[in-house]
Amino acid sequence: MPTTRVFDDIDSHVARTFDTAIATIANAGAQIVRIAVPEFAEVGQTAQVATFPAAEGFAWHRNLMARAKDRYDPRVAERLERGRQIGAADYLWLVQQREQLIASMRVRAAEFDVLAMPTVPIAAPLIADLEQDDELYHRLNLLVLRNPTLVNFLDGCALSLPCHREGDAPVGLMLARFDAADATVLRIGEAIEAALAVVRQSAS
């Protein structure tokens, strides 16, 4: 279990559900080790300089936006426009930083079968609330993308298993590796899914 960043701003429902899932897995025989993952913190720091979605998204969309920006969702257009400010030097630095962090992460994760974390640290917000509040939308958008982005940036492979009880708000348990071993993640996920079945079917 990484302790760096992935539990920041977690809500009580997700935290409680995730803890129950981890306890269930441990009772089934898994060994749970909590570790700091400084690479996760460094991914956040690189985002202060440049991000791939902004740079590459703007590169792909800039001609379309020049002709028909009014046809874009304003929030999508705003995110794409951030790529306009990312220069070649920052993009090349970002590529280099990613390569270094991937290499470091592969070494750190090598001794573990999977890294387990909440897929998303909050329960799904109401669409109506997001439609009416741009600040809330931007804050929660970054929050729900954060943990999957950490795995993606570091070239990991992952799956998300539902771990909530039937009738509760959905919560995902993400299992990740960083050595391109997709089949291994799937096998471990299948075993964990079976272990969680009883919990998921129990009454709230």
pLDDT > 80? residue 180? yes
Give the chain's mean pLDDT. 95
| Sign of the CA dihedral running 132, 135, 139, 145 | positive
| pLDDT at residue 172 is higher than 90 | yes
- AA identity, residue 74: P
Q: What is the pLDDT of residue 198?
A: 81
Residue 202 reports pLDDT greater than 80: no
pLDDT cut 90: percent of the chain above it = 96
Across the range 12-40, mean pLDDT stands at: 97
Model confidence band, residue 64 (pLDDT cutoffs 50, 70, 90):
very high
158: part of which helix (H) or strand (E)? strand 157-162
Dump pLDDT digits (tens) for 127-164.
999 999 999 999 999 999 999 999 999 999 999 999 99
Instruction: Return d(Cα 106, Cα 148) in angstroms, integer.
Output: 17
CB-count exposure of residue 22 (10 Å: 0-12, 13-18, 19+): middle
To which H or E segment does residue 68 belong?
helix 52-68
Q: Give the pTM.
A: 0.92
36 pLDDT more than 80: yes
**Per residue in 97-136, pLDDT tens?**
999 999 999 999 999 999 999 999 999 999 999 999 999 9
CA distance 85 to 63: 16
Residue 49: how many other CB atoms lie within 10 Å: 12
Q: Report H helices in 69-181.
A: 74-81, 88-109, 127-132, 134-153
